[in-house]
Structure 1
């Protein structure tokens, strides 16, 4: 009985949201590697960024890039604070607008964050989007062992990201974990719906365009 309850609880932690029209994507069929629809405007980057570089793209320079229909994304989230709720809302709104197939893994137990990340990995998404600064240390431990899987961190960044970890943030949202604090100070009030929406779109556009392992700093 205890085993059955544990399985039921795990399933309840995964919410499946599918954007767009048509039948839900159950992720059980073969899935081609995603390609960007459209291209970045010249103002996104001036030169090819080096690993771990920070870029400051021109506002809207990512607007011409969209994910392909059925793009498979796992939203990995921890925390119920206002900044995290704002980011989660931005991701779910974007998924609905773009026809993205979205599954959500909630990570409520800080002692099992790595297990929650492993759960997201087992779903086999095209991209894992992380919201909630408390996840950073666990992500730093796990992501380097899964270089074939792309991660996008919103409203924060890893101290030493590998090539598969991209971050999108702004002044007041550059928490780095590992006891390093932030470069500009953490400001929950800076997590506005407009900034969160821009971070999702700029970050996904960068990943789809092959610019990964960098920090995208928005105004």
Structure 2
């Protein structure tokens, strides 16, 4: 009996895929608020970014902001190329270090049902990693404005207010037939860059700086 109970508990833990513990996302959950404050140079408080605008924060100006513990995040990923793999590792490392409640969905050939499945989980944030997700996200996100999305290492060409992107020279894939940026460089997806991308992007979302591109120097 004890062995069976242990096996069942292990199976539940595997399905939940949480970094911050196996919590039931169906339970009431307060709206997330940032822990800490943005540093000088993240943005100009007197001139908030316009919709679809771009900000270029000072390096490290996001370091003072953390997500609240048990922040609910779905990592939506597609592809096993080196840049996507680096982004996924960066997100998972961040989630582990910050005790984020992270669950992962690997999208299939048609990502739209997987994006929909991620939304039905009602996370605080859906993080996208992988260029093949960009066009499907452009289709879905505009119709679900209450759900926040963060795209790391790429951009939705015409984001609505619920889609924030983090990009840099060497990334910036935009989809919609625009092709790969002429400056695209897989080697630019370093561990440090990917770590900065998820932290800067989450800091922006938690501070309601959404629907913009956060451009890393």
Asked whether the two chains share a fold, i.e. TM above 0.5, the reply is: yes
Q: Distance in 2 between matches of 1:116 and 1:15?
A: 16
- 5+ residue gaps in structure 1? 1-13
Q: Does 1:78 align with 2:91?
A: no
Instruction: Quote the Cα distance in structure 1 between the aligned partners of 2:154 and 2:15.
Output: 24
Map 1:163-174 onto structure 2 (within 5 A). Answer: 163-174=161-172
Stretch of structure 1 that moved more, 183-192 or 50-59: 183-192
1:13-162 to 2 correspondence within 5 Å? Answer: 16-20=16-20, 23-46=21-44, 47-109=47-109, 112-162=110-160
Q: What are the Cα deviations for residues 110-158 of structure 1, in whole angstroms up to 9, with x where unaligned?
A: xx21111001001110000000001100000000000000000000001
Cα deviation for residue 17 of structure 1 reads 3.0
Distance 1:184 1:197 in 2: 24
In structure 2, how many angstroms separate the alpha carbons of the residues matched to 1:212 and 1:101? 21
Which whole-Å CA distance do the structure 2 matches of 1:211 and 1:49 have between them?
Answer: 8
Residues 1:192 and 1:148: Cα distance change in structure 2 (over 3 Å): same
| Partner deviation per Cα, 1:139-197 (whole Å, 9 max, x = no partner) | 00000000000000000001100000000011010000001135542211111110000
Give the distance between the partners of 2:182 and 2:151, measured in 1 at CA.
Answer: 18
Distance 1:15 1:167 in 2: 28
- Provide the TM-score with structure 2 as the length reference: 0.90
SS at match of 1:62: coil
- The alignment partner of 1:91 has SS state of helix
Whether the 8 Å CA contact 2:153–2:172 is kept in 1: the answer is: yes
> 8 Å contact 1:16–1:104 — kept in the other structure?
no
Cα displacement (A) at 1:24: 1.7
> What TM-score, normalized by structure 1, do the two folds share?
0.89
Q: 1:24 to 1:84 in 2, by over 3 A?
A: same
SS in 2 for 1:117: helix
Q: CA RMSD in A?
A: 1.3
Matches within 5 A, 1:170-189: 170-189=168-187
- C-alpha deviations, 1:53-87, integer Å up to 9, x for none? 11110000001110001100000000000100000
Shift of 1:28: 2.1
Describe the shift of the 1:141–1:88 C-alpha distance in structure 2 as closer, same or farther (beyond 3 A): same
- 1:195-214 equivalence runs, <5 A: 195-214=193-212
For structure 2, list consecutive stretches of 5 or more residues without a partner in the other structure: 1-13
**Conservation of the 8 A alpha-carbon contact between 1:171 and 1:184:** no
Contact 1:174/1:184 (8 A) holds in 2: no
Q: Is the 8 A contact 2:16 2:22 kept in 1?
A: no
